[in-house]
A = this chain, B = another copy of it.
Amino acid sequence: MQKAGLNVVRMGESTWSLWEPEDGHFEYAWMDRVVEAMGRAGIKVIMGTPTYSIPTWLYHAHPEVLARPLGGGETFYGMRQNMDTDNPVYRFYAERVIRNLVQHYKDNPTVIGWQIDNETSSYGASNHDVFVGFVDHLRKKFGTTANLNKAWFLNYWGEDVNAWEDLPTRDSAQSTGYKLEWSRWQQMRVTEFLAWQAALVRQYARAGQFVTTDFGGAMRPDVDEEAIGAVLDIPAINVYHGTQDHFDGAQQAFHEDFARSLQGSNFLVTETNAQTTDWTSSFQFPPYDGQLRADVYTHLSNGANMVEYWHWASIAANQETYWKGVLSHDLEPNRAYAEVSRTAHELHKIGPHLVNLKISNHVAILWSRDSLNAIEFMPFSSAGPQWSGAHPAADYASLVRQIHKALYDLNVSVDFVFPTTQDFSRYKLLVVPALYIADDALLERIADYVKKGGHVVMTFKSGFANENSAVRWVRAPGPLREAAGFSYQEFSNLERPLPLKGDPFHAGDANKVSYWAEFLMPEHAQARASYDHPFFGRWPAITENHYGTGTLLYEGTYLSDTLQTKVLAEALREAGIAGPDQQLPVHVRVRHRVNRLGKRLHYYFNYSSEQKSFAYSYGMGKELLTGTATAHGQQVALKAWDVAIVEEE
């Protein structure tokens, strides 16, 4: 590692049985040896609390700590991340190992920070204690069962709850309000568990040792990353992405724009692809030459202050045998090692110019976990006839990813904002995908943002249901009606994709919409597109409304990817934030940042196997990797999967 130029490792999160081989008997020497060697090599350590995978003796004594899945059924030891993290037995043992561990390493100068747990989620636990906690939560939130019955419309099918002890479990619940609130309870449980771990660690950790945790990718349905971000010193994220012909930086940007937006801060990448990422041997796609290097700079360009791999060396056995590290099973240098090493040595030179980047964006996407979950319970597209359990063809997540990818392809860097965000005014364009769940206040904040000059692009289903997943009993889209400039009473699925009449956004073959069509009845809005269909054609597919000094463009249907890109390109022009970045060659991506020296950085990536050339459009600067001076208008040539980073003078 030292020879490869690495200077930080993350260890310990999967090793409870080594720290504590039997109940109450603790061993440290095995790890001390490693930490000491790291210290000698100048490599710093982030130490993980090992609580996400319990030892065999704990399960043997207390099988009840495993998470009960919805619907019941037996559960067994073997996989990790399968506990009821509320269970006091589990908490007792977890607390003891954490206290011992942190006390042991708090003064070790090599240990610079703590990772609490690992890719924590709710594990779908529906154990009795989880359910009891949920009923207590409802009691506090709703006060009386009468309020609950009303909020959740429980007289439907005669399922009123007139005594708290009559509340049925979540297992077969059909109430949409129940399902949504349960998903929130699972999120609250995860937040509380991590806050408890963070507080425990901080009782001992020395000043300067940071506390982080690694999110298992952005936007888990049962993890409130925004809330958890508030209990961390710095968030971390594990980012896996396509390789070979599927490597293009978009997935990294998606996860990392999210991680960065949680606290508006830099972040750590605790895991990313080394050779391959697979739990079988049927997903082995080692990167092409240059992709590992391009990947490191991609992470940094998004605001990462560290890039770590899962993992250094490949494991000879078990679940992740084929989740290969930088080294193969032979532990010898190899193609991946050579490229990682080259990149690390580059960073020794130019790294100080690339960390603590400041990133300020004109565009934000509103992300709503409640909408993700509520739409999952009432999906707007089906899985096709072949299998009812399959994932729908399109959903909230696919829509959010489509929008982010469209903006990414347009070379526009974005932030995410949340239902808790109080002020959208620092953005010129706010994109609101399918905001199915929202209270009136949030909808009014969006309307107000438009009124005061904001530009909004919003899609179908927004404003449809309230915070309890009940459809509003006023004309849709409820409190958005004025800002949107239309109302509607009907909607239809589309059996097959339909074209828009006249291809108004010049999308060519991609002039297609699918899945969903609201029958929008304009009141003040202008129709921007309509369906090429004898029945649906009477209602507009896309509208635009001027409201106050802003505009709200509304997509009443699910656009094809290309069509979405065309519509957003136009919205960017209307919002005055289009420019030369939209003229770069295909597969060339650019990001603009300010580094901690206060200088502007322009990152250029060639995410392709062909050489690409383009004119540099910004101020005189120096390309950091080559040291080449680069002037406005100068041609820059990038080889396959190559990177250029121009620091303005």
Contacts and interface: CB of A to CB of B under 8 A. Distances in A.
A378 B56 contact: no
A509 interface: no
Interface centre among A158, A315, A319, A335 (most CB of B within 10 A): A158
A14 B157 contact: yes
B22 A491 contact: no
Contact of A315 (B15, B156, B331, B535): B156
Given A158-B18, A158-B53, A175-B318, A475 B330 contact: yes
A517 to B, nearest CB: 9
A321 B469 CA distance: 10
Contacts of A163: 22, 57
Nearest to A157: B53
A75 interface: yes
Given A55-B159, A56-B162, A330-B474, 17 more contacts: A55-B160, A73-B74, A77-B172, A78-B173, A78-B174, A79-B172, A176-B321, A177-B318, A281-B493, A284-B493, A285-B492, A316-B471, A317-B469, A329-B473, A331-B473, A335-B489, A386-B387
Interface string A322-334: 1000001111101
Contacts of A390: 386-387
A438 to B, nearest CB: 15
What band does the interface of chain A fall in when counting residues whose beta carbon is under 8 Å from B? 35 or more
A169 interface: yes
Contact of A495 (B245, B286, B322, B380): B245
Nearest to A12: B158
Given A159-B17, A328-B490, A318 B176 contact: yes
Interface string A1-28: 0000000000000111110011000000
A54 B79 CA distance: 36
A158 B16 contact: yes
A166 B60 contact: yes
Interface in A51-77: 53-57, 59-60, 71-77
Contacts of A55: 158-160
A493 B78 contact: no
A534 interface: yes
Contacts of A76: 71-72, 168-169, 171-172
A161 interface: yes
B318 A156 contact: yes
A286 to B, nearest CB: 5
Given A17-B160, A18-B160, A328-B489, A381 B471 contact: no
Contacts of A73: 72-74
Contacts of A275: 490
Interface centre among A317, A473, A493, A495 (most CB of B within 10 A): A317
A57 B162 contact: yes
Interface in A261-299: 275-276, 280-286, 288-289
The 4 closest A-B pairs by CB, nearest first: A78-B172, A77-B168, A76-B171, A17-B158
Contacts of A124: none
A127 to B, nearest CB: 14
A244 interface: yes
Contacts of A348: none
22 contacts: A15-B158, A21-B160, A60-B168, A77-B169, A78-B168, A152-B318, A156-B320, A174-B319, A244-B492, A281-B378, A283-B382, A285-B492, A285-B495, A286-B490, A289-B535, A321-B471, A329-B472, A329-B476, A330-B476, A335-B490, A336-B490, A387-B390
A471 B317 contact: yes
Interface in A364-404: 378-382, 386-387, 390, 392
A490 B330 CA distance: 10
B379 A281 contact: yes
B490 A379 contact: no
Given A284-B492, A321-B378, A534-B609, A166 B56 contact: yes
A539 to B, nearest CB: 11
A618 interface: no
A493 to B, nearest CB: 5
Contacts of A379: 280-282
A167 interface: yes
Interface string A442-475: 0000000000000000000000000011111111
A333 to B, nearest CB: 9
Interface in A157-214: 157-163, 165-169, 171-177
A292 to B, nearest CB: 13
Contacts of A315: 153, 156
Contact of A159 (B22, B53, B169, B472): B53
Nearest to A640: B534
B168 A56 contact: yes
A7 B175 CA distance: 32
A80 interface: yes
Contacts of A336: 490
A166 B321 CA distance: 24
A164 to B, nearest CB: 11
